[in-house]
């Protein structure tokens, strides 16, 4: 007010710029787009006033306004919004996402990038690692970023050493989850067949027995084919690929029992 900064500028834009600057200083998890959406103005219009405010306060000269925002402060907010807060694994997903962001920091992935994209990639990987299936489009809606940006952050993280290990663990957990679904389905089918056999006449029971024999022969044939495929498979290019291929083969073999 003393320097007439409000003169010629909308009061709500000045007030929002001051609030955003205070939120950054106090590490409160509010994004620039939250203020612009509330005021129903363009992000660039509000951003212009914010930069002018920083120049007026001499923050530009001291580089204080360019200090990186820690993406971890937004993780609880985005996680609760995605998992609706009451999800049993919401806390675990948030902690895993924070660990992934810490790994990204060590590889300088967050430098020069918006925190929303970093958070989106971290939450996507964290959710998958805990067996919670969300598409990248679902994550993009929560973090207010486009799906392509999240994909870029995922690709960048995948090129790091920690990223290769994280993706391997996620793939293993996904394979285990699929195996459990197949086992549950087979148990349900087996129970249904037994109930039908107990309530059916002799001819129907004979038909059920014949069906069981056909299933057993089919499993033997599948085991033989998979053994041949494993024998004729080309050598793995990397250790990670070899581990993944071995796990997939074992799970496929176990799933037919």
In a domain, 5, yes or no: no
Task: Output the pLDDT for position 26.
Answer: 83
* CB neighbours of residue 78 within 10 Å: 23
**Residue 111 placed within a domain:** yes
What pLDDT shows up at residue 255? Answer: 47
Q: Angle at CA 146, nearest 5°, toward 111 and 150?
A: 50
Question: Does 32 reside within a domain?
Answer: yes
- What is residue 10's DSSP assignment? -
Question: Which among 107, 76, 82 has a CA at the least distance from the CA of 94?
Answer: 76
> CA-to-CA distance for 122 and 99, rounded, in angstroms?
9
Query: Looking at residue 161, what is its pLDDT?
Result: 66
Same domain, 179 and 250: yes
Would you state the pLDDT for residue 14?
Answer: 87
DSSP secondary structure, 153-210, as one string: HHHHHHTSHHHHHHHHHHHHHHHHHHHHHHHHHHHHHHHHHHHHHHHS-HHHHHHHHH
From 159, 188, 217, give the residue that closes a domain: 159
Residues 15 and 57 in one domain: yes
Q: Is residue 94 part of a domain?
A: yes
Are 208 and 172 members of one domain? yes
Do residue 142 and residue 201 come from a single domain? no
243 and 183, same domain (yes or no)? yes
Residue pair 114/99 in contact (Cβ under 8 Å)? The answer is no
Q: Are residues 109 and 175 in the same domain?
A: no
Answer for the pair 240, 163: CB distance below 8 angstroms, yes or no.
Answer: no
Domain count, the chain: 3
171 in the same domain as 122: no
**Boundary of a domain, candidates 134, 159, 184:** 159
Same domain, 80 and 145: yes
Contact between 106 and 149 (Cβ < 8 Å): no
Distances (CA, A) of 161 to 5, 47, 141, 172, 254: 49, 37, 29, 17, 31
- Considering the domain architecture, whether residues 30 and 89 belong to the same structural domain is answered as no
Which residue segment(s) compose the domain that 19 sits in?
Answer: 11-66
217 token code pair: 């022969």
Tell me whether residue 21 is in a domain: yes
pLDDT confidence of residue 2: 59
- Are residues 151 and 113 part of one domain? yes
pTM of the model: 0.52
Q: Given this model, what pLDDT does residue 53 score?
A: 82
Q: Write down the pLDDT at residue 185.
A: 77
Q: Divide the 257 residues of the chain into consecutive groups of 10 and give the mean pLDDT of each group.
A: 72 87 82 83 83 73 58 86 75 85 79 84 86 86 88 82 58 58 76 69 66 80 77 62 63 49
Residue 24's pLDDT is what? 80
């Amino acid at each position: 007010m003393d320097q007439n900064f409000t003169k010629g500028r909308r009061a709500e834009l000045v007030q929002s710029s001051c609030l955003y600057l205070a939120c950054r200083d106090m590490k409160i998890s509010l994004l620039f787009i939250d203020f612009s959406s509330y005021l129903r103005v363009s992000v660039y219009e509000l951003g212009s006033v914010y930069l002018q405010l920083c120049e007026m306060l001499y923050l530009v000269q001291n580089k204080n306004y360019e200090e990186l925002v820690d993406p971890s402060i937004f993780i609880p907010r985005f996680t609760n919004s995605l998992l609706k807060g009451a999800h049993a694994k919401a806390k675990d997903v948030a902690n895993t996402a924070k660990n992934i962001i810490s790994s990204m920091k060590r590889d300088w992935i967050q430098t020069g990038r918006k925190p929303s994209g970093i958070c989106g990639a971290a939450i996507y990987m964290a959710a998958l690692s805990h067996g919670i299936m969300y598409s990248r489009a679902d994550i993009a809606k929560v973090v207010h970023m486009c799906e392509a940006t999240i994909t870029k952050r995922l690709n960048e993280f995948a090129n790091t050493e920690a990223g290769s290990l994280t993706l391997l663990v996620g793939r293993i957990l996904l394979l285990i989850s699929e195996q459990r679904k197949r086992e549950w389905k087979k148990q349900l089918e087996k129970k249904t067949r037994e109930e039908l056999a107990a309530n059916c006449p002799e001819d129907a029971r004979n038909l059920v027995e014949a069906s069981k024999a056909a299933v057993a022969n089919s499993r033997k044939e599948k085991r033989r084919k998979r053994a041949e495929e494993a024998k004729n498979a080309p050598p793995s290019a990397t250790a990670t690929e070899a581990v993944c291929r071995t796990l997939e083969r074992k799970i496929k073999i176990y799933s037919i029992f």
